[in-house]
Amino acid sequence: MEITSTSSPEVAQVKANQYKRASLLAQITIFYNLIEGMVSVFFGVSDETLSLFGFGIDSFVEVLSGIGIWNMVQRMRHNPKSDPGPFEKRALRITGTAFYILAAGLVITAGINLYQRHRPETTFWGIVIAAISIFTMWALIHFKVKVGRQLNSDAILEDANCTKACLYLSFTLLLASVGFELTGIGGIDSIGAILIAIFSFREGRESFEKARGESCHYDNPESS
């Protein structure tokens, strides 16, 4: 006699719960980046820390990307095999453009600061924010990969893969902030801002590639 271990309603309920978790992770990403952006911009301006200011603006742009991802997850709950809709593609193009503008602005400002030998007052808050962000991004990647594997969703796994860009940005901010605190060399902050600009440019390119249905080029999250 054949025994069915799991009934269809039970499978459907498990899937529904998994999609709820995926939606919750997307919302956490949005709200975390919003708060991170406000705090980073505030301290970046008050302490005249360009790398922290650029990191904060990058977080605001990530909010735009997060909204598109949340919309994608909501749509996948109803049609898991659907292609990215017009809203997500439009959001990704807007996000990509914003990243490009941010990258250009940071490079120009960093160049001026290097020429003028500008020094931030302190990078202490950059260290604090970067440390918190590293832990948060690592946790988000971990849980996004877990849910993506449970749902067998390439889209959610791809989102986890792209979240690695935020993790790399956090490490860049941490190194630049610690470097200035240890040496007092103002140029380290400007160099950190240029590195953040490079990551922002890459994120902009990734956004346009995702809008065309292509994948992020960061390491496969399944290897994490």
Per-residue pLDDT reduced to its tens digit, 91-128: 778 888 888 998 999 999 999 999 888 889 889 999 99
Q: What are the pLDDT digits (tens) for 161-177?
A: 777 888 888 999 999 99
Q: Is residue 161 part of a domain?
A: yes
Query: Does 22 reside within a domain?
Result: yes
Q: Within a domain: residue 221?
A: no
pLDDT of the residue at 81:
62
Looking at the chain, the whole-number percentage of residues with pLDDT higher than 70 is 87
CA angle 88/94/100 to nearest 5° reads: 135
Whether 89 has a pLDDT exceeding 80, the answer reads no
Evaluate whether residue 1 is within a structural domain: no
CATH of the domain at 155: 1.20.1510
pLDDT averaged over every residue in the chain:
83
Domain that holds residue 63: 15-216
Whether 117 is covered by a domain: the verdict is yes
| CA dihedral for 138, 161, 27, 147, sign (positive or negative) | negative
**Which backbone phi and psi does 53 adopt, to 5 degrees?**
-60, -45
In sequence order, what are the residues at sequence separation of 6 or more whose Cβ sits closer than 8 angstroms to the Cβ of residue 40? 52, 53, 55, 56, 59, 129
**2 lies in some domain:** no
**Is residue 223 in a domain?**
no
* Domains in the chain, number: 1
Give the global pTM. Answer: 0.79
